[in-house]
Amino acid sequence: MKSAFKLRVLAVVKKIPKGKVLTYKEIARKTGRSKAWRAVGNILNKNYDPKIPCHRVVRSDGKSGGYNRGIARKRRLLAEERAEVGWND
DNA sequence: GAGCTGACATGTT
DNA sequence: CAACATGCCAGCT
């Protein structure tokens, strides 16, 4: 553990302002690996941490993606924060 | 140490 | 327009 990349990704996700959502690609870009969104998703997937609002991370398609505690939870949190998620086209 | 896995993205068919 | 196929990266087994 303690890989710089992982910590960096988690840090960025933690810094996502309320009501805002970032795409995996954006996070990867911020972390310095614009093409590493794969790893970003993988990290969040394995990383169970209540301090990480992984629900604020969505796909570039504007879709929800997934969530470690269940996609339903993510949808509810986003609805609460009124994030700009394009559930409906 | 090597290979598999995955909450993705982009390009073609 | 939708589905399929390929490429990419790092973590995990």
Contact assessment for residue A5 and residue A33, using Cβ atoms and an 8 Å cutoff: yes
Architecture of domain A4-80: Orthogonal Bundle (1.10)
The reported pTM is 0.90
Tens digit of each residue's pLDDT (9 = 90 or more) over A6-58: 999 999 999 999 989 999 999 999 999 999 999 999 999 999 999 999 999 99
Using the CA of A48, give the nucleotide whose C1' is nearest.
B7
- The gap between A82 CA and B4 C1' (Å) is 38
The residues spanned by each domain of chain A are 4-80
pLDDT for position A6? 96
Subset of residues 43-82 in chain A with CB less than 7 angstroms from any atom in strand C: 43, 46-47
Torsion of CA A85, A32, A52, A59, to 10 degrees: 20
Examine the pLDDT at A89 and tell me if it is beyond 50.
no
Q: How much is the pLDDT for A83?
A: 52
